[in-house]
Amino acid sequence: MVARLTPDQKVACSIHVGFKILIQSVGEEVKTVIPDSKLKKNERNEKWELAKKQEFEAAKRKNVENRKLIYSRTMQYAKESEGQEKEPIQLKREAKLKGGFYVNPESKLLFIIRIRGINAKHPSTRKILQLLRLRQIFNGVFLKVNKAKMNVLHLVEPYVTYWYLLPFWLPRFFFHQFYIVAMAYFFLMYASRYPNPKIVRELIFKRSYGKLNKQRVALTDDAIIEQALGKFGIICVEDLIHEIMTVGPHFKAPLGGLKKKRSHYVEGRDAGNRENYINEVVRRMN
């Protein structure tokens, strides 16, 4: 015989069963399903953060090493420059004791500035200026001195002004008394140090630029120089200046008011070779 429950008993039984189910659902852990795309993204972000951290630490260590290297090289260049400033004095004394005289070595470096435009210009002259990378007025370039370039330079002399730049160290020579005085005077006049290193340094710091990834970039940071020329051992501006002044093995020609640029400097104008007086022009242009 089946016992029948009263309405009150049925309500009590349903409440008990519902409470039991609620307790079981609360006691179980809720498992959230994470999509694979989000897991991969989190993993990728972690790897990226780790790589960036390692890159930053490596760059920091390299920067410290570069600063030490740049300082040591700068001190070395300063010491060499000081020694070379004293060397001619010693050589002159030795030459005088031997009955001869000291003559400065010939220059191996030129700095050329374009001072005229394209009016009434021959096509060959225009082509030479393009080859020299003097495409605009007041563009300047460093060039190695050789016979071919000097012959070409004479063809465009009315359009440019230039001077010879003596590197820091080159072989010194003794000329004894059997050489005629006129030849010695010629070498003293045309092989002397026309500009000074200070002018070259100011040009590099204020006017120079480089091409990096086919873009014109001002040389405002040593990192730019290291990125482009680090493979040649040139990592800072001082290395670049040293390479240009000494016409080093990796030297390559890179890319304020005038009175009369159609006449030669010896006529009181501006074209042609102006020797030591080029410093004043460069200062005005800077």
Residue whose C-alpha is closest to residue 197's, from 164, 248, 247, 245? 245
Q: In this model, does residue 31 exceed pLDDT 60?
A: yes
Query: Which residues are CB-contacts of 261 (< 8 A; sequence separation ≥ 6)?
Result: 115, 116, 269, 270, 271
Indicate the residue type of 206.
K
Average pLDDT of span 82-87: 80
pLDDT tens digits, one per residue of 134-177: 888 888 888 888 888 888 888 888 888 887 655 443 333 333 33
Q: Are 107 and 191 in contact (CB under 8 A)?
A: yes
Q: Which of 17-31, 62-76, 165-179 shows the highest mean pLDDT? A: 62-76
User: Is the CB of residue 268 less than 8 Å from the CB of residue 258?
Assistant: no
- The DSSP call for residue 29 is P
Structure tokens at 149: 């370039």
Residue type, 58: A
Q: Any bridge partners for residue 218, and if so which?
A: 209
Comparison of pLDDT for 40 and 195, the residue scoring more = 40
Choose the weakest-confidence range: 118-122, 157-161, 188-192, 201-205: 188-192
CA atoms within 13 A on the CB side of 40: 3
So where are the chain's domains? 84-281
pTM for the whole structure: 0.52
Name the residue with higher pLDDT: 127 or 258: 127
Higher pLDDT, 270 or 133: 133
pLDDT value at residue 216: 82
User: DSSP H helical segments within the chain, as ranges?
Assistant: 7-27, 36-97, 123-131, 147-155, 181-190, 197-207, 222-229, 237-245, 278-285
Strand pairing report for 272-273 and 160-165: parallel
The mean per-residue pLDDT over the stretch 99-106 comes to: 78
